[in-house]
Amino acid sequence: MCFASHCFLGLLSLLWQAPGEVSRPNVIVIVADDLGAHDLGCYGSKFHRTPELDRLASEGIRFTQAYAACPVCSPTRAAIMTGKYPARLHLTDWLPGRGDRPDQALNRPALRQQLPLAEVTLAELFRDAGYVTGHIGKWHLGGEGFGPLEQGFGSNIAGDHTGTPLSYFAPFGKNGRTMPRLEDAASGEYLTDRLHREAERFVETNCERPFFLYFPHYAVHTPLKAPAELVQTFPAETPFMGQQNNPTYAAMLLAVDNGFTSDNGGLATIEGPLTPATSNAPAREGKGWLYEGGIRVPLIITGAGVTAPGRTSAQVAVSCDLLPTLCTLCGMTPPPGVDGVDLSGVVRDQPAEQPRAIYWHYPHYSNQGGRPGGAVRDGQYKLIEFYETGRRELFDVVADPREGKNLSADKPDVLERLSHNLAEWRVAVEAQMMTPNPDYRPNLQAEGGRITLPAKTATVEGIMLRYEPLPHKNTLGYWVRAEDTASWEFDVVRPGKYRVEALVGCGNGSGGWRGSRQVSAASNRAPVHACTVTSNAASAMVM
């Protein structure tokens, strides 16, 4: 059995002809959930084993500059299904989404809880072109009345409103609910293996007519669970040092890969037992962030229509491109109003790569620590704009894929051009914006007369300075430039004299630390005396 993939997700798109159907190739789109940009062997991983996916890459085209339409799952899936940006769909966060909180300065816009039935989906396009359509795996685009069967699929196995499987081992149920059409699973059966068998059955049943199979895996989403016999084939996990070394995650990925014989940015932060799942190094951050680690993904297309197999392409691609590209390769006309670009010429090795800009809008606080913002990549440059503070960061992601040097001060013309384009794009797609939180109460950790300001709540301005989440140090790290700053907002409930203390650690041979602190009033908040000091403690008067 042969598949193909693109991933943010991990997405692989596979096309091959059915007998007598030269112009109507069968299509399988395979998505792996939370798969990082560098998690496959063909993308450089030395720890994970993905021989079948690597083989498919050698038989097709592998994109090195592919992106998810959003740093979390549901919006990216909506973009795959419709060819439209999540901002245009008003579906910009995982469903049902993270609610507003008192310690968040901005409130999220109203979040659509399902993919609207009025949208034309890939499944509906293939169905109307005479294809048999099937969905196997994770849906996460709406519940009752908005599931796969209402969106153009003739069959559905395991897909519902949830983003996490009820269980990775049978029985596939919880609290009286079972994943659709998996009720007969033998006790202990592994979910990924079962979904592969269902996919094989779909292909065998429909091999005499053109078909479209959408096969979005639940793996490698948390909770991290894998058969013990696969986990034991990988070295035991070593202390996490920004590298791929999680044997359970590796075993889950190997199980996905095993289905390719005869399938958003990887999760790089703590999110349940056995996490983090992976490291996206050298890309910065991971799932939930607009840095490269949260949105860069693998993309492989293989099968009919792919000329000069074994190629890599530096064409910039995004999830929205899948719909118009597959339409052209299969002789169909994309619906009007799609945002994606037809990349069939790149697949066929005809014209050179197309210059284009791609955009993101994420008006949410992510569970992984990401802050709300927007971004645009145009050519080698990428701009990130943070909605809370208006801070802008500009990177040359070709020369600096780690996004370590903010070029905002060095290239003001590029900064302003991309800022203008991003603002115009938000208007064009009618993006929903955040609003000030009237109940904002930052850093509510006051206890026993002490106000603690955790590193993770800091607003950081600097080139390398960043918050290093667990399982790193749970601190602000890479503070190597005197110009870099970190600031906190907090409420003081009564006037008085406060002692400001900072916990600072220096590595061996660092030469020590010297810094300054200021305490001042935030806008529209009570005034305080400002103080600037260079010692490890300071006093400030709060009036």
Per-residue pLDDT band for 83 (boundaries 50, 70, 90) equals very high
- The conformation of residue 46, written as its DSSP 8-state character, comes to S
Q: Are residues 255 and 381 in the same domain?
A: no
- Three-state secondary structure string covering 381-433: EEEEEECCCCCEEEEECCCCCCCCCCCCCCCHHHHHHHHHHHHHHHHHCCCCC
Residue with tokens 């062997």: 41
Q: State mean pLDDT over 499-522.
A: 70
| pLDDT over 70 (residue 484) | yes
Q: Are residues 324 and 384 in the same domain?
A: no
Per-residue pLDDT band for 532 (boundaries 50, 70, 90) equals very low
Q: Are residues 290 and 246 in the same domain?
A: yes
Instruction: Give percent above pLDDT 70 in the chain.
Output: 79
Report d(CA 280, CA 536) in Å as an integer.
35
Q: What is the pLDDT of residues 282-322, one digit of tens each?
A: 556 767 889 998 899 989 898 877 878 889 999 999 999 99
Q: Are residues 31 and 154 in the same domain?
A: yes
Q: Are residues 38 and 171 in the same domain?
A: yes
Nearest to 317 by CA among 290, 273, 354: 354
Q: List, as one string, the DSSP characters of 133-195.
A: EEEES---S-STTSSGGGGT-SEEES-SS-SS-S-SBSS-EETTEE-TT-TTPPTT-BHHHHH
In a domain, 330, yes or no: yes
| pLDDT, position 131 | 97
In a domain, 407, yes or no: yes
Q: Are residues 233 and 291 in the same domain?
A: yes
Residue 78 to residues 36, 146, 256, 296, 411, Cα–Cα distance (Å) = 19, 12, 22, 17, 35
| pLDDT, position 502 | 75
- Three-state secondary structure string covering 464-501: CCEEECCCCCCEEECCCCCCCEEECCCCCCCCEEEEEE
| pLDDT, position 13 | 62
- The conformation of residue 239, written as its DSSP 8-state character, comes to P
Answer yes or no: are the C-beta atoms of 388 and 105 closer than 8 Å.
Answer: yes
| pLDDT, position 542 | 35
Q: Which amino acid is at 166?
A: L
Q: Are residues 156 and 218 in the same domain?
A: yes
Q: Are residues 287 and 146 in the same domain?
A: yes
Q: What are the DSSP E strand ranges found in 183-322?
A: 211-216, 296-303, 311-318
Q: Are residues 144 and 242 in the same domain?
A: yes
Q: State mean pLDDT over 387-408.
A: 93
| pLDDT over 80 (residue 527) | no
Per-residue pLDDT band for 262 (boundaries 50, 70, 90) equals very low
Task: Please identify, among 407, 435, 463, the residue that sits at the C-terminal boundary of a domain.
Answer: 435
| pLDDT over 90 (residue 56) | no
Residue 144 to residues 175, 223, 311, 470, 495, Cα–Cα distance (Å) = 18, 25, 42, 37, 54
Q: Are residues 252 and 388 in the same domain?
A: no
Q: Which residue has the higher pLDDT, 534 or 34?
A: 34
| pLDDT, position 139 | 96
Answer yes or no: are the C-beta atoms of 358 and 339 closer than 8 Å.
Answer: no
| pLDDT, position 524 | 47
In a domain, 24, yes or no: yes
| pLDDT over 50 (residue 398) | yes
Task: Please identify, among 414, 435, 456, the residue that sits at the C-terminal boundary of a domain.
Answer: 435
- The conformation of residue 517, written as its DSSP 8-state character, comes to B
Q: State mean pLDDT over 77-97.
A: 96
Task: Please identify, among 338, 356, 384, the residue that sits at the C-terminal boundary of a domain.
Answer: 338
| pLDDT, position 424 | 99
Q: Which residue has the higher pLDDT, 239 or 349?
A: 349
In a domain, 376, yes or no: yes
| pLDDT, position 507 | 67
Residue with tokens 């070295």: 235
In a domain, 67, yes or no: yes
In a domain, 359, yes or no: no
Report d(CA 407, CA 336) in Å as an integer.
37
| pLDDT over 90 (residue 503) | no
Q: What is the pLDDT of residues 174-223, one digit of tens each?
A: 887 889 999 988 899 989 889 999 999 999 999 889 999 999 999 877 78
Residue 296 to residues 121, 266, 402, 513, Cα–Cα distance (Å) = 24, 9, 12, 36
Q: State mean pLDDT over 334-341.
A: 96
Answer yes or no: are the C-beta atoms of 151 and 121 closer than 8 Å.
Answer: yes
Answer yes or no: are the C-beta atoms of 120 and 146 closer than 8 Å.
Answer: no
Q: What is the pLDDT of residues 313-330, one digit of tens each?
A: 999 999 999 999 999 999
Lowest model confidence (mean pLDDT) among 131-135, 160-164, 447-451: 447-451
Q: Which amino acid is at 504?
A: V
Per-residue pLDDT band for 237 (boundaries 50, 70, 90) equals low
| pLDDT, position 510 | 66
pTM more than 0.95: no
Q: State mean pLDDT over 100-120.
A: 94
Report d(CA 198, CA 200) in Å as an integer.
5
Q: What is the pLDDT of residues 152-188, one digit of tens each?
A: 999 999 999 998 888 888 898 888 788 999 998 889 9
In a domain, 506, yes or no: no
**What CATH number should be reported for the domain holding residue 45?**
3.40.720.10
| Tokens read off for 26 | 């069968």
**What CATH number should be reported for the domain holding residue 397?**
3.30.1120.10
| pLDDT, position 445 | 57
Instruction: Give percent above pLDDT 90 in the chain.
Output: 42
Q: State mean pLDDT over 465-482.
A: 73
Q: Are residues 310 and 375 in the same domain?
A: no
Q: State mean pLDDT over 500-516.
A: 71
Q: Are residues 315 and 385 in the same domain?
A: no
In a domain, 501, yes or no: no
| pLDDT over 90 (residue 409) | yes
| pLDDT over 90 (residue 425) | yes
Per the prediction, the chain carries an average pLDDT of 81
Per the structure, how many domains does the chain have? 2
Query: Mutual orientation of helices 247-258 and 191-205 as an angle, nearest 10°?
Result: 10
| pLDDT over 80 (residue 399) | yes
Q: Which residue has the higher pLDDT, 237 or 345?
A: 345
Lowest model confidence (mean pLDDT) among 98-102, 137-141, 431-435, 501-505: 501-505
Q: Which residue has the higher pLDDT, 481 or 471?
A: 481
Backbone angles phi, psi at 270, to 5 degrees: -70, 125
| pLDDT, position 268 | 41
| pLDDT, position 195 | 93
Residue-range definition of the domain harbouring residue 195: 5-96+112-338
| pLDDT, position 280 | 46
